[in-house]
Amino acid sequence: MQLFLLQVDTTLTNATPEVQSLWQVLIKGGVLMIPLALLFIAAVFFFIERLIAIR
Instruction: Tell me the per-residue pLDDT of 10-44, one tens digit each, with 9 for 90 and over.
Output: 555 566 678 888 888 888 888 899 899 899 999 99
Position 41 scores a pLDDT of: 95
Instruction: Kindly tell me the sign of the dihedral angle through the C-alpha atoms of 29, 35, 39, 41.
Output: positive
DSSP 2: H
Q: What angle do CA 19, 16, 6 make, to 5 degrees?
A: 160
Is pTM, for the whole model, over 0.95?
Answer: no
